[in-house]
Amino acid sequence: MPLLLTEADVRAILTMPLALELVETSFRRLGEGVAVSHPRRRLQIPGKTILNYMAASDAAGGYLGLKIYSISRGAARFVVPLFRAETGEMVALIEADYLGQMRTGAASGVAVKVMARPDARSVGIIGTGLQARTQLEAVAQARRLERIHAFGRDAQRREEFAKEMTERPGVPVTPAESAEDAVRGAGIVITSTTSKTPVVEGRWIEPGMHISAIGSNFAEKREIDSEAVRRCDVIAADCVEQSKIR
């Protein structure tokens, strides 16, 4: 009988150090060709629910699985069925809201570990939602941070975010008055928004700055402007095929 892991189970089991280790291993296996990831696809009933799904296999680990999530009236629901490669049996059904937050945060943590300057010690983050929390948690594991500036449109929420995240990774988080204030002087910049217009402008970017832009998962979303893209020496994506189709 498949193991059922609830959101509470995942929160009890999955730590950020473990997530970072597993995500880095997954990227390595994708690079080696022993793992395969299929880009996200979407089904939609017009005016109603969107169903998203993406699949992956890991020959080295011996599993296949997929992430399925629905979006309806602003609410998202996530689940991961996991199968054993040898027999095809389902071994687990996992509620995956927190799992996705941790995986996305860990992906940025791995990116910072291998791509950001070794002396990058400051972070500017745009966005103060759930994804922003695991972003900071992961990056704080990847780098010994000294300061974090956070900006969100809602002043009260960014004050609450700064207070909470100062306690969680143990690094001072200061609310910024604007997105530009958060970005200027940062060695690492994170955008964690659902914005359809750029929240980071290329003219703010300084040489050697690392940017993790995580929110643009639809073609109409855009967190950094064209000038920021042009100024990048290296552009990396979780999945190149995915970045082409959105």
**Is 61 in the same domain as 71?**
yes
**Is 153 in the same domain as 69?**
no
Total number of domains in the chain: 2
Tell me: pLDDT of 102 over 80.
yes
CATH code, domain with 144: 3.40.50.720
**Is 83 in the same domain as 196?**
no
**Is 219 in the same domain as 192?**
yes
Structure confidence at residue 74 as a pLDDT band (50, 70, 90): confident
Structure confidence at residue 117 as a pLDDT band (50, 70, 90): very high
Q: Look at residues 125, 99, 142, 106 and name the one whose alpha carbon lies nearest to residue 188.
A: 125
Which residue segment(s) compose the domain that 111 sits in?
Answer: 101-245
> Among the three residues 82, 100, 118, which one is the final residue of a domain in this structure?
100
- Name, in order, each residue with C-beta under 8 angstroms of 160's C-beta and a sequence gap of 6 or more: 128
Predicted confidence (pLDDT) per residue in 143-176, tens digit? 999 999 999 999 999 999 999 999 887 899 999 9
**Is 87 in the same domain as 73?**
yes
Predicted confidence (pLDDT) per residue in 175-225, tens digit? 999 999 999 999 999 999 989 899 999 999 999 999 999 987 766 678 999
Counting residues of the chain whose pLDDT is more than 90, the rounded percentage is: 87
User: Is the four-CA dihedral 118, 124, 127, 133 of positive or negative sign?
Assistant: positive
**Is 94 in the same domain as 25?**
yes
**Is 118 in the same domain as 237?**
yes
Q: Starting at the edge strand that comes first in sequence, how are the strands of the sheet with 188-191 ordered? A: 173-175, 147-151, 122-126, 188-191, 210-213
Q: Look at residues 7, 56, 45 and name the one whose alpha carbon lies nearest to residue 238.
A: 56
> Among the three residues 100, 135, 162, which one is the final residue of a domain in this structure?
100
**Is 120 in the same domain as 45?**
no
**Is 91 in the same domain as 200?**
no
**Is 121 in the same domain as 84?**
no
Give pLDDT, residue 104. Answer: 96
Summarize the confidence of residues 90-94 as an average pLDDT.
98
> Among the three residues 100, 127, 143, which one is the final residue of a domain in this structure?
100
